[in-house]
Chain A
Amino acid sequence: MDHFPSNWGRPRNDAIDQYATYPIHSRPKDSFAEGVQRTQQPIVTGTSVLAFKFKDGIMMAADTLASYGSLARFKDVQRLHAVGNHTVVGAGGDMSDFQYIQNLLEQLIVDEISAQDHHTLSPAEIHEYLSQVMYARRSKIDPLWNSLLVGGFKDGEKYQPSNPRRPLPLTVYLRFLAYVDLLGTTYSASTLATGYGAHIAQPLLRKAVESREEILTEEQALKIMEACMKVLFYRDARSLNKYQVATITKDGVKISDSKTLDTSWSFAENIRGYGAQTQ
């Protein structure tokens, strides 16, 4: 227990002081000590985002918590952001940087509408834009501290500009799902997860989804997503039992109201060191 009120609620630097073991006089320095500075570490953070492909499109989920270090600071923050009618961007990492990204995307959409050429940005184009922004910022050593998932239903796998000669696949897939982070690293797969979810939910998602992308219905997809969010809530100390699900299909983007997870803690009674024990 830290007995110094001035330290309460301050985020620890998990990279250095993982278990708050440093004596107070030699604590890693306060994030605000030098006034305005570049993002050197995330402050108010969101945890995992999960997404995967299913028969009719993409499903993505994130809980609604924005943490301040280990403090559950904001409990109703939307981390899924619709961009136009075909794309959703989900964010983990620093929430103020995410708000800035939302702003950039909003401007981008306004510019596209202003052109009045009846062209709307595809998910692949939005992902390319974001990856260039993220890579440019990391190259200035002034990163946007986020892991982003971009999911959409429009130009997807048929987009192969690098090779005009390669014949398009007969079945034209329209789904798009890709990742980009603060380093500008990008990749695509049929199941994706950021943050803690990459370790805990990704194996579950791969087992449940891989090779079934063309079969899974929306209801089945929702079940899988709920199971994964539940495991994350049980295991990730920076998570919340309140989350939102986005589905992107040919009908456009749908982001649900926040859902609550049913969890059971009665087992804790029987575990030594969890509940009230007499000995």
Chain B
Amino acid sequence: MPGSMVAMTQPVQQSFNPYTENGGTILAIAGSDFSVIAGDTRQSEGYSIQTRYAPKVFRLTDKAVLAVNGFAADGNMFVKKVKQRLEWYRHAHAKDMPIRAIARLIQTMLYARRFFPYYVYNILGGIEEDGTGAVYSFDPVGSYERETCRAAGAAQSLVQPFLDNQIYFKNQTPAAGTQFPQHLPLTSVLPLVIDSFTSATERHIEVGDGLEIYVVVASGSTSLQGLQNLRGVQEVTGTTDGERVFVIRRELKKD
């Protein structure tokens, strides 16, 4: 077998790899009239922590927040391009693009690079035009669907089963004569998000340092109470009417 001998003895020239993996995890959960989008702030390559604060979650409009995870350079460029398209839309139509349109925009932008993909997993969260909380999740080439909750990134395999159990009540049986709720209130969702990340930090080396939780709340939602007097909450809403956006920052373990 001369062919296989050549393969064994001849070293192959290692070609330039334009991708790397920068760790971290993101997740989003939709409520009935709010949406929570969160991500840790560690950026790493291999066993090295590059920085303890590199945001992965970005406010696009007052009703849409985008979380990106995977190859950080692609992620930053992708967010930049999405923001640019949203600005052009604003100039053309004098309003913010609705979230389901942003979702379709993201799908076409990702698929446009089908043969040299952005190596990024996207999760888009926010408020739909009918006032309901929405989460859209994407794969790197643009396949997407609307869901109630989704985790992505390094600790996806740790967090998603936990969310399936706690949000979708998978593998749980309701007590006789009762039913599981379709949507959880914000007061239950926030602790689940924080617990997801503290647990992922314990068990995954690429997760930790800091946590940024964006909360998008529909106008007139009852979720607003209790949110404003939360520790470390900051409002980042751009306009004065309509949906409101908040960020909650927490520390995670740094080891």
Contacting pair A185 B45 (CB below 8 A): yes
Give me the interface of B with A, judged by CB distance under 8 Å.
9-11, 13-16, 18-20, 22, 43, 45, 48, 50-54, 58-59, 71-73, 76-77, 83, 116, 234, 236-238
Contacting pair B48 A199 (CB below 8 A): yes
Closest to B19 in A: A183
Contacting pair A26 B236 (CB below 8 A): no
Contacting pair A40 B13 (CB below 8 A): yes
Question: B residues within 8 A CB of A165?
Answer: 236-238
If A165-B238, A185-B20, A187-B43 touch, does A179 touch B50 (CB 8 Å cutoff)? Answer: yes
If A26-B9, A163-B59 touch, does A135 touch B14 (CB 8 Å cutoff)? Answer: no
Quick check: is A141 within 8 A (CB to CB) of the other chain? yes
Quick check: is A166 within 8 A (CB to CB) of the other chain? yes
If A166-B236, A184-B77 touch, does A26 touch B51 (CB 8 Å cutoff)? Answer: no
Question: B residues within 8 A CB of A183?
Answer: 18-20, 71, 73
Contacting pair B45 A143 (CB below 8 A): no
Lowest 6 CB-CB distances: which A-B pairs, in order?
A184-B73, A187-B51, A189-B51, A185-B73, A187-B50, A15-B14
> Could you write out 19 A-B pairs with CB less than 8 Å apart?
A16-B14, A26-B9, A28-B13, A131-B73, A135-B77, A138-B18, A139-B116, A141-B18, A143-B18, A162-B58, A165-B237, A165-B238, A183-B18, A183-B19, A183-B71, A185-B72, A185-B73, A187-B50, A187-B51
Count how many pairs of residues, one from A and one from B, have CB atoms less than 8 Å apart in the complex: 72
Q: Would you give the shortest CB distance from B242 to chain A, in whole angstroms?
A: 14
- Could you tell me which residues of chain A, from 11 to 39, have a CB within 8 Å of some CB in chain B? 13, 15-17, 22, 26, 28-29, 38
Question: B residues within 8 A CB of A15?
Answer: 14
If A141-B18, A162-B58, A189-B51 touch, does A135 touch B73 (CB 8 Å cutoff)? Answer: yes
Give me the interface of A with B, judged by CB distance under 8 Å.
13, 15-17, 22, 26, 28-29, 38, 40, 131, 135, 138-139, 141, 143, 162-166, 179, 183-189, 198-199, 202
Q: Would you give the shortest CB distance from B8 to chain A, in whole angstroms?
A: 10
